Amino acid sequence: MDKTLALIKPDAVERNIIGDIISLIEKNGFVIIDMKFMKMSRSIAEKFYDAHIGKSFYDKLVTYMTSGNIIALVLKKENAVDIFRDLIGSTDPEFAKEGTIRKLYAIDKSFNSIHGSDSDANAEREISIIFDH
């Protein structure tokens, strides 16, 4: 598959860095094929993050992701999932490589500004949860 799902998370929307992040995404050759400004409901967030149910950070994660507006983007590029994961960097910005979105913008491991699907199957699943396709 040549698509992935990106979410610009509430901490980034609140800090007025949407444009900076989208600019980096475009400069790295991703084409935005769908985009939505939204607030996640609790039920959508719980469905989206069901792989993390039971983990220590799960409740904090759902509370954070439903705390404010987000931007969802469907991105198209050859090998989109892997290349986008490289662009966003490690979950914890302390360990993210220079030039990655999380190194540049994330506050910490919890409030890390951006989501990217981690497999083609999850990209398909996440796109269908957020968008109707």
Tell me the catalytic residues.
115
DSSP one-letter code for 94: G
How many angstroms separate the CA atoms of 70 and 77, rounded? 22
User: Nearest to residue 110, comparing CAs of 67, 48, 50?
Assistant: 67
Applying CB under 6 A, which of residues 115, 123, 126, 127 lies at the interface with ligand IDP?
115
From the list Mg ion, ligand IDP, none, pick the one residue 22 interacts with, judged by a Cβ distance below 5 to 8 Å according to partner type. Answer: none
Binding string, residues 59-98; x marks residues near ligand IDP by CB under 6 A: --x-----------------------------x-------
From the list ligand IDP, Mg ion, none, pick the one residue 57 interacts with, judged by a Cβ distance below 5 to 8 Å according to partner type. Answer: ligand IDP
DSSP one-letter code for 96: S
Q: How far is the CB of 20 from ligand IDP (least distance, A)?
A: 19
How many angstroms separate the CA atoms of 131 and 32, rounded? 14
